[in-house]
Amino acid sequence: MELTYRPRRLRRTPALRAMVQEHQLRAADFIYPLFVHEGATNEPIGAMPGAQRWSLEGLVQEVGRAWGLGIRCVVLFPKVADGLKTEDGAECFNEGGLIPRAIRRIKAAHPGMTIMTDVALDPYSCDGHDGIVSAEGIVLNDETVEILCRQAVAQAKAGADLIGPSDMMDGRVGAIREALDEEGFEHVGIISYTAKYASAYYGPFREALDSAPRAAAGKPIPKDKSTYQMDPANGRECLTEALLDEQEGADILMVKPGLAYLDIIHRLRGETELPIAAYNVSGEYSMVKAAAERGWIDERSIVLETLLCFKRAGANLILTYHACDAAAWLAEEG
């Protein structure tokens, strides 16, 4: 065959392939989500093989392990006791609460680790929603934002580096930015859940935190979160959310879930200069784990390929429960 250009020439050897590789994974690309509870021991999470609800002591040790593997950011999620859950989720801004104590413990032991927090009411709400639910069953926007600002300030006081509003209330990024600045936390960043979809991929996560919407006597509770999280059918809508978050002061934009929404990551990459994060969510993680346990796939290859795809789509950062495994595998590859 008389061919002028043969693309396979640059695929011939490992060295040639490495020279022209467009995207690479690093441990520093990962944000490691960690669940913490008040218990004295770590508890396995049934729906998420390999994941734990960490005790405070176990959490500090796991953060140290992650640091040793080159991971430079963790995000914390609390399993809150039912007795502390209320309709307004007020425990979320308790400066002596689980998350502020966890932040202080981590900072004392691993001062270089970047700590991201979650800002939403669902772990603290007896209704299981990200916002306050009215007597009529409506998730209230502005009243919720007031609580979220107090939550963000409490986390910043404890030493959080990045505040992650995951609630999808309108205007919360601007309000949180203003609240942080007024309290002298201009240096604390906001990594906004910009395009968070009302997805079925969150199931294992909600088991881990016991944070799913729940029925209440005499009060209509929305069965899902579709009045505030985005419709999976909508793509262009992410641009509206991104524009608003950027105008309101977000430092990093996030897409959640990640794997089924690579097109959304790519759309945002073409519209903003801000860093973009992708959340490789619990359902995606658990499907890989389940298939690997049955011998249907090679876990290492699947995980590294999946994480690389987030980078190719345009993500700078990846929240993933695979973080420590992936970091170790990358180190082995050199």
- Which of the residues are catalytic? 196, 256
3-state secondary structure of 122: coil
Identify any residues that bridge with 140 across adjacent strands, giving them in sequence order. Answer: 132
Q: Which residues, at least 6 apart from 334, have a Cβ–Cβ distance to it below 8 Å?
A: none
Q: With 0-12 CB in 10 A as exposed, 13-18 as middle and 19+ as buried, what is 20?
A: exposed
Q: Strand pairing partners for 73?
A: 114
How far out from the chain centre does Cα 171 lie?
A: 20
User: What angle (nearest 5°) sits at the alpha carbon of residue 170, between those of residues 199 and 250?
Assistant: 90
Rounded-to-integer distance, Cα 97 and Cα 38, Å: 10
**In a 3-state reduction of DSSP, which class is residue 182?**
helix
199's tokens? 């997805």
What whole-number distance in Å separates Cα of residue 181 and Cα of residue 175? 10
Classify 306 in phi/psi space as left (phi over 0), alpha (psi -120 to 50) or beta: alpha
